[in-house]
């Protein structure tokens, strides 16, 4: 279950993180993007296609998926063992 949560989380958040990174990497003199959603993501979709927003997402999927699985499994384990009822 944690693996699925990790995959969904990365899939939802990665385009926003990509836009944030592209906005942060702009030079002060030449601004390619004005805003995150209405400009950066639309320009990315138009120039690179829909899957262009997920370029290099494999690294995040590889690293985040096991981390989320371990975190959710540990959370459930400690919740059962440290709850007041049990």
pLDDT in tens, the chain (86 residues): 777 877 888 888 899 988 888 888 887 777 888 887 788 889 999 999 999 889 888 888 888 878 888 888 899 899 888 887 65
2, 69 in Cβ contact below 8 A? yes
Distance, in Å, from the CA atom of 69 to the CA atom of 63, rounded to the nearest integer, reads 11
Residue 78's pLDDT is 92
Q: Please give the model's pTM, rounded to 2 decimal places.
A: 0.69
Q: For the chain, how many structural domains are there in total?
A: 1
Cα 61 to Cα 39: distance, rounded to the nearest angstrom: 26
What is the model's pLDDT at position 49? 93
Domain extent at residue 53:
2-82
């Amino acid at each position: 279950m944690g693996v699925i949560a990790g995959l969904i989380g990365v899939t939802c958040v990665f385009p926003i993180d990509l836009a944030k990174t592209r906005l942060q990497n702009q030079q002060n003199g030449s601004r390619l993007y004005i805003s995150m959603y209405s400009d950066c993501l639309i320009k990315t979709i138009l120039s690179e296609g829909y899957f262009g927003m997920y370029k290099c997402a494999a690294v995040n999927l590889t690293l985040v998926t096991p981390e989320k699985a371990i975190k959710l499994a540990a959370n459930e384990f400690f919740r059962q063992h440290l709850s007041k009822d049990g």
